[in-house]
Structure 1
């Protein structure tokens, strides 16, 4: 049962990781509706009509809240008052009209039932329930009609009935374009809980309901008096007992935000049932508070708020207005490896004592410790595999009489760019019978709380889809200020309003200014908010300019800005897209073993990807030298990187780039596929070895890619493949997993592919550069740089020829004029191909199955005709093939043939024959006698930090070929049939 439950939650299409960014995100995620999944629609098949708003959605599905991407209209949200009945249908409530007046009786109707009634909006009646007019606008069977009030059957319960929870939190929703309302409802779910949240000055009335239903805050179950309040608990004395409410402190959410509860009552306070006694994340005094009220001005400011960029005051940073707490989880495992058991310990080798001072006796950092980038969180040592000791190690062993245990420092350290406080440590072990994998002896999880202040690059937004990126943090004294000296906190671009048509932000700003001045929150439910005339009256009542605009002064010069500026308080939120989590810089770091390019991704200390379109952009500007650096020295040219560094040290700027490693890898991969690349300059073929530096002068290649006129690609002959090779690979062995040394004669053999260590042979006789070019008499290894292991190829001599898979279904059938599938059966030893028909009625190249072959053999006698199977038979035919004769014969047939289909086949065959004649390729080269082996540097075997040896998938394929080939050789040698 447990396995079935786990499988359901981990694999089911509708199972999702709960969005816990803030209480609203969690609540809306639980109310989400999906048209996808088992029994539902497929995203590709969903048409526009499927995604569009339908009249039956009214009061059941929100027409606004839906994703902006490919799931638009397929993923929706439940409307505020909607419910699901016992049959699984959505219902919405209405007030029943009795004798021409709306009663308090609620009736829930599904979409089918609703079609039979006339339903009017909630704004068509007064407070007593009487209709405001004798003629009323109503909905009937999806149409908007005007009918007498006496025909109305039901009334909407609220103007917000059609909206979801998130959408109903947007004030002045009716003044915003639907697209911006969609953005506003979605972005509220992305707001991070702030360290010091604040209720909006302009509310919709739903904030308290959301806070209560989210479960993030604590409410009183029974009336009583508070007798104890501290950071962890609240105790309330009721008539019958004392109730204890435990507070959740600094818990990590699924999105790494901080879930923390704070008491809002004092000892001695009287509380009633349902009262809030503790706020949760993003809740202030029992109301949802996702952001802060900030003083906003709409004006341009020297281009720093151009195109949705935002200028903010340094005061917001200093006073932690938008500061949020995030909790990162780090974990480390001690595993049982082939080389020994890893240990979590404070005794870490090659580390200064000062770096270990925060660790306890078990090697784990203490709770409450403030840690910075690079600090050790958990000390861990990994035993290393036995390798050949150096001369120094042998000497020390002789002196002290014992061999020191080899251990590698694999401690868990705090990644770059993080500074915080350790708030929790959890330890799991096999000894405590915790549920761990069999090879994991101990596991440690740590949680580090990080305070992140707002900075340039962070994303902030309002509730109207008015989002932007912080472009500059200006000192408070330089910000524009009001006549009374109050500096503005945020400067927005006025051009961001008219084109987006989200006028609601302007109305909120004016009303927010009134609320701040009068010290009274304003409640503006959707579709029921004050109009422009009422807002002007309120501005006048608060002794503020009725236009909502005022004079602003430049904080740097004190001069008045031209014209009056719209100023007021707007509620703004900080979104989870935080710049400090994404910013990454690199000078040097890890490189890909195969391509020698810098790795990608922040977690791997990678560089910034420079893609195809970025290259086009620089090409458009003619930035040739920058492009050359990007695509060589800063990418996959190891020699160029070294050269650039040397030139920078010397104060020069002339960089000589070499052939990129990725191009060399491409050449070797094509060669390993049996293709021969040829480079030409002035009708002269250039030696490929010179490009690789084998015949180099003073370490520089004889030619570069920029020297060549053209590149030709053709089939490689068996002789050509043997010429590339430095030796035959006879064994399927790779390395010795204990010593990590290459096995002799295997896929990593140093005698074939070169030394694995610079200028050192395998047996240790030669270990210095002064022996360069010498071949060791004992192990046969040439003393040379280990870089040759990226260049030197090997080969496998096949016991029996094999058809190249690329040509078995393309050129071979066309060349021989045979059916693809039938030829494949011959190659796979299922059918027979007639080579010589002799005096029989059979035809040359006729294909026979096993039954017919045996019948003809009995009919005509042994040796009367020749037929065989396998690639060897195809090879014998191709070797005897006269291409010029085949060309002449096909041309004759083409002249005589009248059938359109047959002519088409002949033309295709003739084209293949002509291509072979023109290119100089021989047909028999499509059958492999030799398999090239790609250099070991391009199919590496590496020992990971955990001690586990990881191997390229190519090695497994080569091992399978070698093992099968050796078995076949043995069978042929022993005469097996």
Structure 2
């Protein structure tokens, strides 16, 4: 065996060093396991062992660990004792001891595992390890499954932080020791001796730069809740996405009830990032447990009890478990003689008497997000994954609407998100206003709650709370007092219930595009509020302090009209891109003044000073209304970075209605982009005169295999007509026969299809159409954030070509292959202007812009900068290149500049 990756040492030498001195003693320890008919492992090792007693064993081990050092018995004993038996140096940890005892069949006592003496390696442990290695060599057992959840544990945030904290403390200890050895002890104080900076630095490093410390996803309450329940196989000490293979990413049988098999990203992190299942919990050792109802035999018949036990993956593997949907009678006895169950982690048909546990719920195998998808069992797994991920991207509407067809998980998800205000105990509401709710509790007395109003989330969506109680109302403990964003009456409401029809309409729903009625926009069904904070720092520069003012040089009165005397925009002002939000001037470095400038300075004083406009402008592509202004300054005692005198934060709110180009989706992975907003009168309408809200393509269902949306639409049609809401839990949903019955009860055909009439002609359509209620979401991929255009803008200093991307206000790249396309068409003039005046012909583009402004025709183009770059490249290869025109040399690049 090897210690610290050094040279090999005989295991019998280590056993001697641990206190088993004689060969007879060692042989006695392993005689019952070392029973191979041809190979005697211990005897063969003893034959090659150079040591014959404890002292020699210590020396042998010491020689391997510290080659070149003098090996004496005392040196060796102190080193090995420090290495294996000193708690500061060697710590198995509670988890290590727990797993060790579990692996070797020892009794696991939760209290004893935590004790210090049990967390170091004993000589009995070494014997147990060697015995197990010999047994495995003889019996040829299968290797442990590394992906088994009994062999993988969750390192929670506390443990990760603790490990960084330990590093910081070790650094601090080293500094303290150094100072104690170098300083005068009499003059030392704790303040001089202890420097907390290493601990603070290690903690800050964890929160600021660790891969596992992430900016919270706050698009909606569900995104927040699911981000807190996320599991990652990556990060420090974990896997990297480049090295991870298929086995690690695959769904494992032990994930049942512990990690959701559906909720995972679509990109390179697929399978490496997961989510805790709905009922799963992490035990004190970091292993994920899932709850089951205990099944006991009464009079030789299995009865499902109400006793709930949490079991880990190893315990579950040895038991037989059945799903929550297995029929039981009113006393809890299982009805069927043979039931579908899981035995050794595999699906089997077993006799009822073999069952040990029953699932607590059909929802238990999926995450909270996946549990919100109705009729999940009818959707293909890929589309269910998309549906789960897209619900986390739904932006909160101004008027939230809880789903007509839900799963029963909406209330729990909303309450656990932390955005809903609930009553702490029984009482009576004494005051309910827009911004606060007061409740008089029976025991705690009167309590006043201040509600969140239009706060900005990390995703720039609005966090706002609305009271749902009235003065005089009696409330019980747990009752909802105020809804949060994307919540209606205490239920999660990420989108809107829309009347949809599956039909094509003039080709506008080609490629999954979505057609919406103008009524959807008018009724603000998908209108959302987006808030943005824009900050301006006022600094103290070497040339003097910057100044916030409305007196900005070379700016028209029109642009200054919304600024107050201090130069800050007024609250309520409508702003668009390019508008000044805060006026600020920065002093410029002054050169030697001319006679005229000296005269101006003498007349006007400091007003004639040379200053630069450094105001806060609203960036390109933004608009909205100023809703809040915060001013932080050193004088008021605010904590500001060094060199900053004042910081001004302007909040802009943008009300966005649904428009062409916005991405919308259902809960089944059925996503699309709005292609047309159709007048209400032109939309197809039903026999009762109600026009439909949304038109979806029928081709989006067949190949995607997400039939859950069709069942949702059918049941939604009946539910809306009969005036009720449905909770259809995942994997135990409403049966097809029940949907047919409900449609019949509502007065519709059993197939759920109805006659529609063309809004433009009033004529009935050729065929019946599937119409019903579908819950739809507006996603955080809005055309307003993505659309971009440029006429003139910044250029790269090196290539003189326009920059790329919306953030840099860049242009569209016309690349090599696009040039080939124009060459193939022979579009010479278009090609010429794209490669010259629209790109890097510096004098040519300035002339062209001037010609356009004056209304003149554009004159001939010049040599582009890229040609000069090519010439310099060739010069770098020691090639002299001359450009000739009519046998005369044409000056290019640096020569031209030098002459000029």
**2:529 equivalent in structure 1:** 325
Cα distance change on mapping 1:611 and 1:327 into 2, 3 Å: farther
- CA distance in 2: counterparts of 1:484 and 1:473, whole angstroms: 23
**2:814 equivalent in structure 1:** 610
- CA distance in 2: counterparts of 1:617 and 1:286, whole angstroms: 57
Aligned residue-pair number: 696
Contact 1:633 1:640 in 2 (8 A): yes
- CA distance in 2: counterparts of 1:618 and 1:216, whole angstroms: 56
**1:960 equivalent in structure 2:** none
Residue 558 of structure 1 pairs with residue 756 of structure 2: no
- Aligned with 2:238: secondary structure? coil
- CA distance in 2: counterparts of 1:91 and 1:245, whole angstroms: 37
User: When the two structures are superposed, what TM-score results if normalisation uses the length of structure 2?
Assistant: 0.74
Pairwise CA distance, 1:655: 6.6
For residue 453 of structure 1, the aligned residue among 657, 661, 679 is 657
> Cα deviations across residues 880-901 of structure 1 (Å, max 9, x unaligned)?
xxxxxxxxxxxxxxxxxxxxxx
- CA distance in 2: counterparts of 1:646 and 1:347, whole angstroms: 31
Stretches of structure 2 lacking an aligned partner (at least 5 in a row) = 1-198
Pairwise CA distance, 1:33: 0.5
Pairwise CA distance, 1:53: 0.6
Contact 2:249 2:270 in 1 (8 A): yes
- Aligned with 2:347: secondary structure? strand
**1:383 equivalent in structure 2:** 587
Cα distance change on mapping 1:200 and 1:604 into 2, 3 Å: same
For residue 285 of structure 2, the aligned residue among 87, 96, 115 is 87
- Aligned with 2:533: secondary structure? strand
Aligned ranges 1:683-832 → 2 under 5 Å: 687=889, 690-692=891-893, 785=900
**1:76 equivalent in structure 2:** 274
Cα distance change on mapping 1:127 and 1:360 into 2, 3 Å: farther
Residue 155 of structure 1 pairs with residue 358 of structure 2: yes
> Cα deviations across residues 307-361 of structure 1 (Å, max 9, x unaligned)?
0111111111111110000101101111222333211223333334554454344
Pairwise CA distance, 1:443: 1.4
- Aligned with 2:733: secondary structure? coil
**Farther off after superposition, 642-651 or 565-574:** 642-651
- CA distance in 1: counterparts of 2:250 and 2:887, whole angstroms: 64
**2:245 equivalent in structure 1:** 47
**2:690 equivalent in structure 1:** 486
For residue 461 of structure 2, the aligned residue among 257, 278, 294 is 257
Contact 1:67 1:73 in 2 (8 A): yes
For residue 187 of structure 1, the aligned residue among 390, 394, 410 is 390
**2:312 equivalent in structure 1:** 110
- CA distance in 2: counterparts of 1:401 and 1:115, whole angstroms: 87
**Farther off after superposition, 306-315 or 622-631:** 622-631
Cα distance change on mapping 1:210 and 1:496 into 2, 3 Å: same
> Cα deviations across residues 736-795 of structure 1 (Å, max 9, x unaligned)?
xxxxxxxxxxxxxxxxx86xxxxxxxxxxxxxxxxxxxxxxxxxxxxx75xxxxxxxxxx
Contact 1:333 1:440 in 2 (8 A): yes
Contact 1:430 1:441 in 2 (8 A): yes
**1:171 equivalent in structure 2:** 374
> Cα deviations across residues 827-852 of structure 1 (Å, max 9, x unaligned)?
xxxxxxxxxxxxxxxxxxxxxxxxxx
Residue 413 of structure 1 pairs with residue 617 of structure 2: yes
- Aligned with 2:318: secondary structure? coil
Residue 5 of structure 1 pairs with residue 203 of structure 2: yes
- Aligned with 1:29: secondary structure? helix
Cα distance change on mapping 1:415 and 1:42 into 2, 3 Å: closer
Contact 2:276 2:367 in 1 (8 A): yes
Pairwise CA distance, 1:651: 7.7
Pairwise CA distance, 1:521: 0.5
Cα distance change on mapping 1:401 and 1:51 into 2, 3 Å: closer
**1:702 equivalent in structure 2:** none
- CA distance in 2: counterparts of 1:349 and 1:642, whole angstroms: 25
Residue 587 of structure 1 pairs with residue 786 of structure 2: no
- CA distance in 1: counterparts of 2:607 and 2:327, whole angstroms: 94
**2:864 equivalent in structure 1:** 660
- CA distance in 1: counterparts of 2:887 and 2:279, whole angstroms: 79
- CA distance in 1: counterparts of 2:210 and 2:287, whole angstroms: 22
> Cα deviations across residues 455-479 of structure 1 (Å, max 9, x unaligned)?
1111000000000011111111111
**2:511 equivalent in structure 1:** 307
Cα distance change on mapping 1:670 and 1:564 into 2, 3 Å: same
Contact 1:248 1:260 in 2 (8 A): yes
For residue 36 of structure 1, the aligned residue among 226, 230, 234 is 234
Pairwise CA distance, 1:426: 2.3
Pairwise CA distance, 1:621: 5.7
Residue 270 of structure 1 pairs with residue 471 of structure 2: no
Contact 1:678 1:686 in 2 (8 A): no
- CA distance in 1: counterparts of 2:689 and 2:882, whole angstroms: 75
Pairwise CA distance, 1:625: 4.1
- Aligned with 1:123: secondary structure? coil
User: When the two structures are superposed, what TM-score results if normalisation uses the length of structure 1?
Assistant: 0.68
**2:728 equivalent in structure 1:** 524
For residue 407 of structure 2, the aligned residue among 194, 204, 223 is 204
**Farther off after superposition, 425-434 or 34-43:** 425-434
Contact 2:600 2:608 in 1 (8 A): no
- Aligned with 1:9: secondary structure? helix
For residue 24 of structure 1, the aligned residue among 222, 225, 230 is 222
Pairwise CA distance, 1:656: 3.6
Contact 2:871 2:881 in 1 (8 A): no
For residue 130 of structure 1, the aligned residue among 329, 333, 337 is 333
Residue 140 of structure 1 pairs with residue 343 of structure 2: yes
Question: Which structure: larger Rg?
Answer: 1
- CA distance in 1: counterparts of 2:789 and 2:829, whole angstroms: 22
For residue 220 of structure 1, the aligned residue among 423, 430, 447 is 423
- Aligned with 2:537: secondary structure? strand
Residue 14 of structure 1 pairs with residue 217 of structure 2: no
**2:642 equivalent in structure 1:** 438
Residue 247 of structure 1 pairs with residue 445 of structure 2: no
Contact 1:678 1:685 in 2 (8 A): no
- Aligned with 2:304: secondary structure? strand
Aligned ranges 1:265-414 → 2 under 5 Å: 265-353=469-557, 355-387=559-591, 389=593, 393=597, 396=600, 404-414=608-618
Residue 62 of structure 1 pairs with residue 221 of structure 2: no
Stretches of structure 1 lacking an aligned partner (at least 5 in a row) = 696-752, 755-783, 786-977
- CA distance in 1: counterparts of 2:826 and 2:856, whole angstroms: 22
Pairwise CA distance, 1:645: 4.4
Cα distance change on mapping 1:377 and 1:400 into 2, 3 Å: closer
Pairwise CA distance, 1:641: 2.2
- CA distance in 1: counterparts of 2:596 and 2:564, whole angstroms: 34
- Aligned with 1:268: secondary structure? coil
- CA distance in 2: counterparts of 1:443 and 1:677, whole angstroms: 56
- CA distance in 1: counterparts of 2:285 and 2:272, whole angstroms: 21
- CA distance in 1: counterparts of 2:659 and 2:605, whole angstroms: 59
- CA distance in 2: counterparts of 1:436 and 1:605, whole angstroms: 31
Contact 2:396 2:528 in 1 (8 A): yes
For residue 423 of structure 1, the aligned residue among 615, 627, 632 is 627
**1:793 equivalent in structure 2:** none
Cα distance change on mapping 1:677 and 1:458 into 2, 3 Å: farther
Cα distance change on mapping 1:93 and 1:612 into 2, 3 Å: farther
Cα distance change on mapping 1:616 and 1:266 into 2, 3 Å: farther
- CA distance in 1: counterparts of 2:555 and 2:305, whole angstroms: 79
- CA distance in 1: counterparts of 2:606 and 2:438, whole angstroms: 64
